[in-house]
Amino acid sequence: MTSRALAWRTVAASPARALLAVAGVAVIGALLFDMLLLSHGLLISFRDLLDSAGYDVRVIASDDPPAARIPITHADALIADISRLPEVQEIAAVRWDRALAIVSGRPAEGVTLISATVGAERKAWRIINGENLVAAGGTREPPPLVVSMRFAEALGLKVGSALGMRTTMFGAASAIPPVMFRVVGVAEFDFEPPGDLMAATTIDAFRRVHAGRGQDNADVVVIASRPPFGPDDAVTAINHLRPDLHAYSNAQLVTHFDQNGFAYFRQISFVLSSVTLGFAFLLIATLLTMSVNQRLSEMAALRALGFPRRRIVATLLWESTMLVGVGGLLALPLGGLLAFELDHILRAMPGIPERLHFFVLEPRAVVLHVGLLAATGLGAAAYPIWVAARLPIAATLRRETVS
Amino acid sequence: MTTIVEGRHLTREFPMPAGPVVALRDVSIEINPGAYVAVTGPSGCGKSTLLHLLGCVDAPTDGSLLFEGRDVARLTDSERSRIRLTRIGFVFQRFFLMPMLSAWENVELPQAEIGIRPADRRARTRELLEYVDLIDRGHHRPSQLSGGEMQRVAIARALANRPALLLADEPTGELDEDTGEQVADLFDRVHADGTAIVVVTHNPVLATRAERRLMMKRGTVVHS
């Protein structure tokens, strides 16, 4: 009988103990798996979100990307200058601001109004119903407006509906009169936070809402680098052209956020992963040590019958592998389910874009989960294995017989 | 005829917080092929300690032990394990069968360990279970057997690899008188088949079956 078969028979002989061990490892493993998903999930999701927009460089006025509310002035000239760089293939200016949406018979709703250079809109939002700004005739009156699904549902809007937009100053409606819009499309916005409503219009209409205030401004200028140049080459060229501004590639932005905004999650994840691994270690070590202590007479008898130490060690290692292996495998779907629920809760926080996730399933996390659990299982099995391997045969047999 | 095991001036001390306890003091013994030796004496006189030394599961503090001419003190742990597996059979007072295995599997276990082919293992296991009259209980686990049946399975297991020496430590200690007698009969048959036996016992019936009796007291052999 192989060590594996002997271990299996031992595990199967105590189903309650085995189930308890597997359940414990599965629950702890699920928490560990979630912490691993959390440690990089936000970054992966953020990177995907940036990449999905189709631009790999962003230019902002402030060195602090999250704020990014210091506008870039003379944006038209900047776009003209940058678009002449050989490293740049495509460029667009994006503006956004808070506004009040006014629909007759309903209270005014605060919304985020954005606009982008013609052509960029196809990357910033996806039309689900109706048409996009240019197709709808960006110069026709009243100006076109694409609204998010949530916006449409909240204000009972559909393609063809009319509504007014008024800019806000410090959270209150400004004295500037509202501009009337017609809804031409309903779209999905990548960066729409769950608690917010979003709408997009043309640059001209956006300027009209602001009555010419900050006419030639942009909140961010987005750039697609030209192959074979990469984003790093484009960033270098832009920083050389306009050292007063700040250009970041997507990778740099991710790194920047990783070191600042997201470090919090990574640290939490690291601490909780360590605690979880500690619990896993204690659980496995306790269960195996108890199991070994209950079977000292069996092991001493096996040794007396001539079974070498390595056989006892191998049997215990298999036993540990079975309990940790099955528990670890069960931890994956359990952790996935838990991650889904936790992600749902965390994404309900205000200001989180719709497509940003805290828990992202990635092969690296699965490999790390398996590796960490395996190492923990081996480490935790070390003490009971040492006890079993160093068992004094005669003394144990004597003690077990007397007891 | 080579002596199976020969102990010279065997002494075994156990270190204790209050000072060392001498369990065996200057005992010399020789077990030849086909011998049947009973070791008797009061509890704590060193019988089991002597048996453990003869079975290479313990080492003497002083003296020397030769197993089939090899100095046991010079052997590695795995070499001693190999001797126990192939040349010695152990029968314990509390049987120590593997509870998760059937009687059949318990008897097969030592054979599998030395790599006997499955077909040969099956034949030998059948032979042994018939020998101890338990062939119809082969698929039963130890918990489904009586004490006498468990001890017979343990004897079959001890004989699995055709040992030269069978060591039994109080083999009837957990059994009633009738069942103990059945076990004693079984030992007689094992002895008649040519296996040397050393049995430690308080059971006078079992002791009288042996060809030679050693009486121990306070760690020494007082009568042979």
CATH code where residue B53 lies: 3.40.50.300
Q: Which of A212, A244, A276 represents a domain boundary (last residue)?
A: A244
Residues A93 and A206 in one domain: yes
pLDDT tens, A18-32?
Answer: 998 899 999 999 999
Q: Which of A116-120, A252-256, A304-308, A354-358 bottoms out in mean pLDDT, i.e. has the lowest?
A: A116-120
Instruction: Let me know if residue A255 belongs to a domain.
Output: no
Instruction: Let me know if residue A295 belongs to a domain.
Output: yes
ipTM of this complex: 0.92
Residues A104 and A231 in one domain: yes
Interface test with B, best of A2, A299, A305, A319 (most B CBs within 10 A): A305
User: How far off is chain A from B5, nearest CA to CA, in Å?
Assistant: 16
Instruction: Let me know if residue A254 belongs to a domain.
Output: no
Instruction: Let me know if residue A210 belongs to a domain.
Output: yes
pLDDT at B139 > cutoff 90: yes
- β A88-102/A109-116 pair status: antiparallel
Q: Which of A216, A244, A272 represents a domain boundary (last residue)?
A: A244
Residues A86 and A229 in one domain: yes
User: How far off is chain A from B53, nearest CA to CA, in Å?
Assistant: 9
In the 3-class helix/strand/coil scheme, how is A173-233 assigned residue by residue? ECCCCCEEEEEEEEEEECCCCCCCCEEEECHHHHHHHCCCCCCCCECEEEEEECCCCCHHH
Instruction: Let me know if residue A249 belongs to a domain.
Output: no
Compute how many other C-beta atoms are within 10 angstroms of the C-beta atom of residue A140: 10
Range of A105's domain? Answer: 73-244
- Between chains, do B90 and A301 touch, taking CB under 8 Å as contact? yes
- Between chains, do B57 and A400 touch, taking CB under 8 Å as contact? no
pLDDT for residue A122:
66
Range of B171's domain? Answer: 5-96+163-223
Query: Which whole number is the average pLDDT over B63-84?
Result: 93
Which residue of chain A is at minimal alpha-carbon distance from B77?
Answer: A308
- β B165-169/B88-91 pair status: parallel
pLDDT tens, A90-130?
Answer: 888 888 888 888 888 888 888 888 888 777 766 778 888 88
Residues A84 and A232 in one domain: yes
Q: Which of A190, A212, A244 represents a domain boundary (last residue)?
A: A244
Residues A378 and A333 in one domain: yes
A401: nearest CB among B94, B100, B112: B94
The two structure tokens encoding residue B109 = 């276990």
CB within 8 Å of A121: residues ≥ 6 apart: A132, A133, A134, A146, A200
Number of domains composing chain B: 1
Alpha-carbon distances, residue A387 vs A115, A314, B195 (angstroms)? 70, 13, 34
Taking the C-alpha atoms of residue B188 and residue B194, their distance in angstroms, rounded to an integer, is 10
State the average pLDDT for chain B: 91
Show residues of chain B in contact with A297, CB under 8 Å.
Answer: 94, 96
* B→A interface, C-beta within 8 Å: 48-49, 52, 55, 57-58, 77-78, 81-86, 88, 90, 92-94, 96, 98-101, 105, 108-110, 112-113, 157-158, 169-170
- Between chains, do A301 and B82 touch, taking CB under 8 Å as contact? no
pLDDT for residue A136:
59
Show residues of chain B in contact with A306, CB under 8 Å.
Answer: 81-86, 88, 110, 113
pLDDT at A7 > cutoff 60: yes
Residues A274 and A226 in one domain: no
Instruction: Let me know if residue A13 belongs to a domain.
Output: yes
pLDDT for residue A166:
85
Q: Which of A209-213, A231-235, A343-347, B3-7 bottoms out in mean pLDDT, i.e. has the lowest?
A: A209-213
Query: Which whole number is the average pLDDT over A332-349?
Result: 90
B98: nearest CB among A298, A392, A398: A298
Which burial class, exposed, middle or buried, applies to B198 when counting CB atoms under 10 A from its CB (0-12, 13-18, 19+)? buried
B57: nearest CB among A12, A304, A310: A304
Instruction: Let me know if residue A42 belongs to a domain.
Output: yes
Residues A372 and A279 in one domain: yes
In this prediction, residue A68 has a pLDDT band, given cuts at 50, 70 and 90, of very low
- Between chains, do A304 and B99 touch, taking CB under 8 Å as contact? no
Measured N-to-C along each axis, helices B47-54 and A393-402 cross at an angle, to the nearest 10 degrees, of 140
A10: nearest CB among B82, B92, B100: B100
Whether residue B56 contacts residue A303, with contact meaning beta carbons closer than 8 Å, is answered with no
pLDDT at A204 > cutoff 90: no
Residues A82 and A114 in one domain: yes
User: How far off is chain A from B4, nearest CA to CA, in Å?
Assistant: 17
Instruction: Let me know if residue B72 belongs to a domain.
Output: yes
User: How far off is chain A from B118, nearest CA to CA, in Å?
Assistant: 10
pLDDT at A66 > cutoff 80: no
- Between chains, do B108 and A1 touch, taking CB under 8 Å as contact? yes
Which residue of chain A is at minimal alpha-carbon distance from B163?
Answer: A305
- Between chains, do B112 and A1 touch, taking CB under 8 Å as contact? yes
Q: Please give the model's pTM, rounded to 2 decimal places.
A: 0.72
Instruction: Let me know if residue B104 belongs to a domain.
Output: no
Instruction: Let me know if residue B106 belongs to a domain.
Output: no
Residues A113 and A22 in one domain: no
In the beta sheet, which residues pair with residue B167?
B90, B198
Closest Cα partner for B32 from B206, B224, B195? B195
Half-sphere exposure of A383 (CA within 13 A, CB side): 14
Number of domains composing chain A: 2
A394: nearest CB among B58, B86, B96: B58
User: How far off is chain A from B155, nearest CA to CA, in Å?
Assistant: 12
The two structure tokens encoding residue B133 = 């009259």
Instruction: Let me know if residue B136 belongs to a domain.
Output: no
- Between chains, do A394 and B85 touch, taking CB under 8 Å as contact? no
Q: Which of A304-308, B16-20, B65-69 bottoms out in mean pLDDT, i.e. has the lowest?
A: B16-20
- Between chains, do B85 and A307 touch, taking CB under 8 Å as contact? yes
pLDDT for residue A138:
57
Which residue of chain A is at minimal alpha-carbon distance from B82?
Answer: A306
- Between chains, do B109 and A1 touch, taking CB under 8 Å as contact? yes
Residues A323 and A197 in one domain: no
Query: Which whole number is the average pLDDT over B119-126?
Result: 94
The three-state secondary structure class of B165 is: strand
Range from A99-103, A214-218, B152-156, B177-181 that averages highest in pLDDT: B152-156
pLDDT for residue B65:
94
The two structure tokens encoding residue A110 = 């605060």
Residues A104 and A234 in one domain: yes
Instruction: Let me know if residue B186 belongs to a domain.
Output: yes
User: How far off is chain A from B51, nearest CA to CA, in Å?
Assistant: 10
Instruction: Let me know if residue A61 belongs to a domain.
Output: no
A308: nearest CB among B48, B58, B78: B78
Residues A231 and A276 in one domain: no
- Between chains, do B100 and A309 touch, taking CB under 8 Å as contact? no
Taking the C-alpha atoms of residue B173 and residue A56, their distance in angstroms, rounded to an integer, is 84
